[in-house]
Amino acid sequence: MNTEQLGNTSLNISRIGIGAWAMGGKWEFGWGQQQDKDSIATIRHALSKGVNWIDTAPVYGLGHSEQVVSQAIKGMSEKPLIFTKCCFRWDDKQNITPDLSAASVREELENSLKRLGVEAIDLYQIHWPNPEAQIEEGWDTMRALQQEGKIRYLGVSNHSVEQMDKLAAIAPVNSLQPNYSLINRECEQAQLPYCQNNDIGVICYSPMGSGLLTGKMTRERIANLAEDDWRRGSDEFQEPKLSRNLAIVEALKAVGAKHGVSAAEVSIAWVLKHQAVTAAIVGMRSPEQVDGVVGGAAIELDEQDLALISEASA
């Protein structure tokens, strides 16, 4: 799989990365039940296909996703790059609270290092700018941890241009992680041009619209999502948006048929087509899902393809 340099860093990352959100299993914003053995097999299979990085976060499964990642890479002579985050804390009753104070960021980093079983995090990111009043304190703490050798590069997720400007005055912003897909294009207006102009890497999440754009998400399947699947409450999975989103899927299927690939792979290729995008975080829950998405990194969409997709998503 081809790699790209992540912004102003020395990291060369595969154009698709392993998204470990669903691997956290059951929690408030989980995707339903997930077996650890399946997650571990998925990670190892993706790595065998040329994927060289994993994106996770402490809050995914309240620490469980990071633990699963650790199990999957244990004993490997050549480990993948590990990206994780800070921001959300939880108590013994699983109540989640945002905290970017210096003490909290330090504690989160140490906890992540222990769970992951690594000496340093390749890319450490502020998960959400929340509380916004603390983002500069949190960022300054991350800069200090970087100087201590516990973090290689610093990134942000879900941040605005104004927020990135504030942080850049303290330490360079190496990457942004925005929500970007055919059903969520808000970052095209400001964040993506800003990153392109400032040599900031972009690793977008949910390029398949949280599963909506895979070609496998039918009305019946949506109606039968597990009770603990967060997508049941998403307006993208409900009318009036659902009909438009499923129409986009039909266009993706048509383009996929032309190239001999899946709708999911076309949705990923469309995201990767944007010049500001370095790579895409792709959620995977089984080795079969890996095989159904890795081809998205190699598809060359032509003008006819893009026009068909644009018409459906207008």
In contact, 102 and 76? CB cutoff 8 Å: no
d(CA 175, CA 73): 24
Q: Comparing C-alpha atoms, which of 189, 131, 128, 184 is closest to residue 156?
A: 128
Q: Please provide the DSSP assignment of 5-36 as one string.
A: E-TTSS-EEESEEEE-SGGG-SSTT-BS---H
Long-range contacts formed by 152-155: CB under 8 A, 24+ apart: 152/9, 152/11, 152/120, 152/121, 152/122, 152/123, 153/6, 153/9, 153/11, 153/122, 153/123, 153/124, 154/123, 154/124, 154/125, 155/83, 155/123, 155/124, 155/125, 155/126, 155/201, 155/203
Does the annotation count 60 as an active-site position? yes
Beta-carbon count within 10 A of 4 CB: 16
d(CA 190, CA 157): 14
Beta-carbon count within 10 A of 260 CB: 9
The residue from 60, 180, 194, 205 that is catalytic is 60
**β-pair partners for 252:** none
Instruction: Give the catalytic positions in this structure.
Output: 60
